[in-house]
Each structure stands twice: as C-alpha cells, then as structure tokens.
Amino acid sequence: MKTKKLLLAVAALLAAGTAFGAIRAVTPVAWKGDPACWQQKRHAEKMAAVKGGGAKVVFIGDSITHFWESKGKEQAQKYFSEGDMKMLNLGTSADRTEHVLWRLDNGELDGYEAKCVLLMIGTNNSGHFKNFSDEPPADTILGISEILKRIRAKQPKAVVVLTAIFPRGAGETDPYRLRNDVVNAQIRKFCDGKTVFWCDFTDRFLDKDGDTKWVMPDRLHPGAQGYEIWYEEVKPYIDYALSDGKLPCPKNRFSKAKTHFEKANESKPAPVVPATRIEGAKVKNPKRGDWWLNRLRQKRDQIAASNGEIDLVFFGDSITHNWERSGKGWLAKLSETYSILDIGYGGDRTQHLVWRGENGELDGYKAKCVMLMIGTNNREPVEDVAKGVREVLDVIARKQPQAKTLLLPIFVRGEGPNNARRIANEQVNAIIKGYADGDKVIWCDFNAKFLDEKGDTQWIMRDRLHPGDAGYKIWTESVLPYFKKICGK
C-alpha cells in the first residue's frame, strides 16, 4: 500500500507538468471574450473572405501585418491585389500568439487551399506586459511553434514563410528588441528551407546606429518604405510557391546584422553563453518529437499551475531529470511535504541552464530552495566549465533572490579515480566549492557515499554515471536536512 501511495503521488506530480495549455502564449483565446469588439468584427469579415474562396497568398500576424491595409496600402494594392498574388490579410492589431491560435482554430485557414502562408507574430507577447516574468521568451517560442503546427495541419500543401519579428525600439539594447532577438534565434530552427522558410531582413531596417526610426516612425510599425522592403524580401518565396515548385527553391534568409547578444558573447567561452537544444525542423526521431522543446512546455505549464509558490527547484541535467525515473519513489516521498519543480534535462550543459534560467524556467514563482548540480556533460576546459556554473548561480541569484541555493558537486563518474572524466569533474568541483558562502549558496558534498572500497560507483550507478534507486535514497537523506531548515518544514 505504501508503494502504491508513493507511485500515485509521483503520478500526480508529473501530471501537473504534462497538462498542456496552461501558459498564456499557447492557450487559444478570443479578445476579452466580447463578441461585439472590433477584433471579432474583423474576424467575421475575414471569415466572409474565407467562405468566398480564401486566397493563394495569406499573411498572418498582428498590427504590423494588419497595416498592409493602411500604412502599406499603396504597396498592397500595387503587389497583392490581382490574380494569384491577391492577398488575404489575416493580421489583427494587438494580437499575440494566443489570439492567432484562436483565429486559426476558428476557421481562418479552413475551406480553401493557399499556396503561400506568411507568418510574423510575437512582438506583442513581449511588449504588452510590464513584467518580464509575465511573458518570458520561452513562452513566445512555444506559442509560435504551436501556430506553425496549426498552419501545417490546416494548409498541408502550402509553402510557409516564417518572418523574424521586426526590430523594435531605438537601438539594439531596447528591452523589447532583446526579448524578440531571443525568440528569433530559436524560431528560425523551425524552418527546414524546403517547406518552411526563414526570412529575416532585420539588416534592411537598421541605420548605422541600429535605429529603425527612418523606416518605422514609432520604432515598431513600418511606414510605406518598410512595406516596400517587406514585399521585396518575401517575393522570391511567394513566386516559388505559386510556381508549384517549378522555380528554383530559395534559401533561408538570415540577417547580416548581428544582435546585441551575438556581439556580447563573441569572445566568451561556450559554457557561459546561453544556448538551447531545440531541434525544430531537424528532429532526429519524429516519434519522439522535439523532446527538449516539449519538456520546456511541460515545465512552463507546471510553473503556470503553481500559483507562484514552489518550495524546491531541482536544476540540472539527466541526473536531476532522473528524479522522475529512477528516483521517482523518493521524489514522491519528498512531494508529500514539499512542492517540487524538477527542471533537469537529460544531456544539458551549463549553457543550457543559463538559457533556461534567463528565459522562463526561473520566472513566475518564488522558490525557497534551488538545488543545482551541473557540469558532467560539459567537455570544455575545466576553468570554463567552472565559469559556466558561476553563470548559472548568477542567473539563479537574479531570478530567485529570496531563495537559498544548494550547490552540489558534479557526481563522481567512471570506473575509478583515474577516469579522465572523473578527474576533470573533480577539478571543476574544487573551483566551484569556493562559490559557496554558507548562506545564499550552500555547498553539499556527499560524493564519498557513492564509492565502494575500490573507488568504483557501479554498485549504485549501473552505467557509472546515473544513480539507481539506492543512489536517490542517499541523495534524499543527504539533502533533506537542508530542505527542512530552509523551508521550515
């Protein structure tokens, strides 16, 4: 009975992280629920066009797309008013990803066969909320991913052109532009250059100072010249789509202008530079899908369902991830007392934790304790790996300033003390131990408990890397006193 209770507890915990649809950006929603609002009237107008046969060329987006009908009206009439080039403009001002999802779920791509669908969305996800934590870049990325899935399901034969979110603000360090840059760097991975094309012409909007005012008077919405540029850049993709593949296949278009992040990180070692493992269009196992992106969504959903309070955050790689597998009984036991968010991802390195921590997984709640163990997958020089751990700690401190961080050494691995990876990890541990101050960052080293008399770990780590149930028992017993003290329960 006790075992059954534990398994039920962990099942409930995992279910909280797998109920899709909780975060705002991926949850289809109409505008204010008001059937009389102007957005709903616009939707009705577009549905009339859909029922009248739709169009071969379809633009989807927010006000920037909507304004083909005003600021870009001359260009729309000149280029997109006749024959197969006639545009169906499915842009609605102020739309975020969740509104586009609602519109697509409610008929705007149904009942006709488009040749080319062009999407540009996301700037309102970053620009309509005061607090970064209300809409971190991770959520916008997930929302755009969902929209692309809808487009493919609704218009399976269409060529899709994903346009980078346009640059906004006076310069490259504008907070909204920075968020959009993070999103653009990831959503371009959804483009295979065959059926879904990436089109980023940011460089054409920037002056020598990185400002856009010359072409976007409010530094957000293009004027007529901006729509001229937009037409010029997407025309090769539209022509290709309308030719049914008879014209040469165009290539993905990448901006020649470097973002602030790209410039800032040029000389930094890899372990400190934020990175993801999103596969996008290059998923290696279609049955498994883009598991890293899917797990990101699961965890953001769990955060959204947490009501802003989480006792313990487990932050790391596969060894942490496996609390949900080999350690699930002990995770369930801890979950009887503590609310727990396990954000361990198999295969992750320090740079991946930096990205996840900066862009969503440490946002939207207040933790009491963050338990960190990372570095065994890093192959870079020891000093650089240690810098990566330091960077992760700094992100935790910025995002969760009220929390205590329980810093664990990289677990011992390999057959014995002469194993090269173990030696490297121990060298990293010797450095990162100095990051602990005994107050905000607490060092907790129980590696010796994993060793037999020969210094081997196989008795408790079958692959000499990942603990089994007995290893998670040792882990639980070693950290529980800290959890009790920090959480007060």
Bridge pairing between strands 57-61 and 116-120:
parallel
* Domain presence at residue 6: no
- Nearest-5° angle of CA 374, CA 376, CA 382? 95
Residue 247 shares a structural domain with residue 312: no
In a domain, residue 8? The reply is no
pLDDT at 3: 40
pLDDT tens by residue, 310-340: 999 999 999 999 999 999 999 999 999 999 9
pLDDT score recorded for residue 34? 79
pLDDT, position 75: 98
Element (H, E) at 60: strand 57-61
- Answer whether residue 34 is part of any domain: yes
Within-domain flag for 157: yes
pLDDT of residue 128: 78
Q: Which residues contact 23 (CB under 8 A, 6 or more apart)?
A: 139, 142, 297, 300, 301, 303, 304
Q: Rounded to whole angstroms, how far apart are CA atoms 65 and 222?
A: 10
Structural element, H or E, at residue 227: helix 224-242
Is 462 inside any structural domain?
yes
Q: What is the pLDDT of residue 144?
A: 98
Dihedral (CA of 35, 39, 45, 47) sign: negative
- The residue range of the domain holding 140 is 21-267
Tell me the backbone φ, ψ of residue 473, rounded to 5 degrees: -65, -45
Distance (Å, whole) CA 489 – CA 482: 10
Q: Are residues 93 and 184 in the same domain?
A: yes
Query: Among residues 98, 104, 102, which one has the least CA distance to residue 151?
Result: 104
pTM for this prediction: 0.94
Q: How far apart are CA 99 and CA 30, in angstroms?
A: 6
| Distance, CA of 238 to CA of 72 (rounded, Å) | 18
Q: What is the DSSP letter of 253?
A: B
**Number of domains observed in the structure of the chain:** 2
- Pair (283, 385) in one structural domain: yes
User: Residue 202 maps to which CATH number?
Assistant: 3.40.50.1110
Residues (pLDDT < 70) of the chain are 1-21
Last-in-domain residue among 267, 288, 323: 267
Of the three residues 267, 301, 324, the one that is the final residue of a domain is 267
> For position 133, what pLDDT does the model report?
81
Question: For residue 6, what pLDDT is reported?
Answer: 39
Q: Are residues 348 and 418 in the same domain?
A: yes
Residue 141 in any domain: the answer is: yes
Q: State the CB neighbour count (10 A cutoff) for residue 193.
A: 12
Looking at 233, 267, 301, the residue that finishes a domain is 267
Phi, psi at residue 93, to the nearest 5°?
-55, 140
256 in the same domain as 132: yes
Q: What percent of the chain has pLDDT over 90?
A: 91
231 and 194 together in one domain: yes
What pLDDT score was predicted for residue 141?
98
- Convert the pLDDT of each residue in 31-61 to its tens digit: 877 778 999 999 999 999 999 999 999 999 9
Phi first, then psi, for residue 251 (nearest 5°) are -95, 160
* Buried/exposed code over 4-33 (b: 16+ C-beta within 10 A; e: otherwise): eebeebbeebbebbeeeebbbbbbbebbee
Does 173 lie in the same domain as 74? yes
Same domain, 251 and 352: no
Residue 12 lies in a domain: no
Q: Convert the pLDDT of each residue in 346-356 to its tens digit.
A: 999 999 999 99
Whether 302 is covered by a domain: the verdict is yes
Hey, what are 445's tokens?
């080293």
- pLDDT for 2 equals 40
Q: DSSP characters for 339-362?
A: -EEEEE-TT--HHHHHHHHHTTTT
For residues 57 and 161, membership in a common domain is answered with: yes
